[in-house]
Amino acid sequence: MTIAAFFKRWNYIERHKRVGIFTYLLVLATVTGIQMIFPETLISSIGVTIFIISVYLNSEDPALRELSRLHSETVMSFANLIENRDNSTGGHIKRTSRYVQLIAEELRDRGYYSEVLTKDYITNLLKSAPMHDIGKISVPDAILQKPGRLTDEEYAAMKLHAENGGNIIRETFRNLGNEEYRKMAFEVARYHHEKWNGKGYPDGLKRNEIPLCARIMAVADVFDAVSEKRCYRDAMPLDKCFDIIEHGSGQDFDPLIAEIFLDIRDKVEAVHAEFESEVKLRQENPCCEK
C-alpha cells in the first residue's frame, strides 16, 4: 500500500525528495523479502537505520533552503521595482501569481496535463510568474506612465517588452544552475502575449505551440489587467472581466484554460477581494504600511 501510494503521488512530490523515499522503500522491500525467505535472519533492525538514512536524504539542506528563499525575495523585489515604474503598487505580480496557482492546481486536480503539472513544474511556474513583465525595464517611462491611448509607435515599443524580457532572463539566469526554471521563466516572459489564434506577439505562435506555462500566464495576466485601475482607465466590473475571458476563449486564450478559470470564479473572486481589502487597509492606515 505504501509503495502504491508513493507512485500514485509521484507527480506531487519534489524531484529532490523522490530519491530518498524511493531508496527507503526499495531497501525496506528487499529486507522484508529476505526476512520472509529466511525467517531466521534477524535483519529487521536494519529498517530503523534505513529510515534514518531516508529522512536524511529526504531533508533539505538549510543552506540551500535559505538560498532559495533569498532568491525568491530578490525576484519579487526586482519585479516590484519594475512594476512600480508604471505607478503600480506591486499588486499585479502578486495577484497574477495567485491566479496562476489556482489555474495550474485546478488543471492538475482534474487530471489535465498530469505528466507535465508535477510538483516541480508548478513550483517553477510560481517562481517564474512574477518575472513575466521583466522586459518593461526597457520601456521608457513616458510610455509606461502615459495616461492616454498609445500611438502606433508607442504600442510597438511597448510590445517589445515580451521579447526583451525573454532575452534578459536568458542572459541573466544563464548560470543559475536550474535549467528547468530558467527555461520556464524565459517562456513565461517571452510568450505570455501570444494568442491561441496565432495573432499575438512576439512570434505569432498558435495553439499548443505556445508553452503551457505561458498559456496559463496569459489568462491570469489579462484578467488582472482589466480588473484593476490603470493610469489610462478605471478598473472594469468583475462581470465584464470574466466576460472578456469567456469571449476570448478559443481566440486569445486556450479554451481549456479559459474554461477552468471560469469554473473557479468563486476562488478568483476570493483572491481579488482579499487584495482589495489589503489596499483599503493600507489607504486607511498609511502609517502602518511597510
Shared-domain flag, residues 162 and 221: yes
Query: Which residue has 486607511 as its cell numbers?
Result: 284
Shared-domain flag, residues 155 and 261: yes
- For 55-80, the pLDDT digits (tens) are 555 555 555 465 456 556 666 666 66
CB count within 10 Å of CB 170 equals: 15
DSSP string, 206-267: -GGGS-HHHHHHHHHHHHHHHHS-BTTBPPPPHHHHHHHHHHHBTTTB-HHHHHHHHHTHHH
- For 225-239, the pLDDT digits (tens) are 999 887 677 889 999
User: What are the backbone dihedrals phi and psi of residue 132, each rounded to the nearest 5 degrees, phi first?
Assistant: -65, -30
pLDDT of 218 higher than 70: yes
Cβ contact 105:160 at 8 Å: no
Q: What does the DSSP 8-state code read for residue 173?
A: T
pLDDT of 208 higher than 50: yes
Out of 36-50, 187-201, 211-225, least confident range:
36-50
Shared-domain flag, residues 202 and 260: yes
The pLDDT assigned to 110 comes to 96
CB count within 10 Å of CB 180 equals: 12
pLDDT, average across residues 101-105: 97
Shared-domain flag, residues 123 and 213: yes
Shared-domain flag, residues 54 and 197: no
Cβ contact 181:127 at 8 Å: yes
Looking at the chain, list the stretches that DSSP marks H as alpha helix, in order from N- to C-terminal side.
2-8, 15-37, 46-58, 62-83, 91-109, 119-128, 141-144, 152-172, 179-191, 212-227, 238-248, 255-263, 265-284
The pLDDT assigned to 220 comes to 97
Please report, for the domain that includes residue 111, its CATH number.
1.10.3210.10
Q: How many structural domains does the chain have?
A: 2
Please give the residue that has the higher pLDDT: either 200 or 11: 200
Shared-domain flag, residues 102 and 160: yes
Please give the residue that has the higher pLDDT: either 104 or 71: 104
What predicted TM-score, i.e. pTM, was given to this entire model?
Answer: 0.76
Shared-domain flag, residues 41 and 19: yes
Which residues form the domain of 19?
2-58
The pLDDT assigned to 54 comes to 57
pLDDT, average across residues 77-98: 72
Please give the residue that has the higher pLDDT: either 211 or 282: 211
pLDDT of 133 higher than 60: yes
- Which neighbouring-strand residues pair with 230? 233
Cβ contact 254:142 at 8 Å: no
Shared-domain flag, residues 82 and 32: no
Shared-domain flag, residues 17 and 100: no
Confidence of residue 256 (pLDDT cuts 50, 70, 90): very high
Confidence of residue 179 (pLDDT cuts 50, 70, 90): confident
The pLDDT assigned to 290 comes to 45
Using alpha carbons only, give the angle 255, 97, 230 rounded to the nearest 5 degrees: 90
Shared-domain flag, residues 243 and 152: yes
Cα torsion 224, 228, 229, 234: sign: positive
C-alpha span between 32 and 38 (Å, rounded)? 10
C-alpha span between 94 and 276 (Å, rounded)? 12
Shared-domain flag, residues 114 and 203: yes
pLDDT of 274 higher than 80: yes
Shared-domain flag, residues 31 and 70: no
Q: Which of 58, 73, 88 is the last residue of a domain?
A: 58
pLDDT, average across residues 130-140: 91
pLDDT above 90 covers what percent of the chain? 49
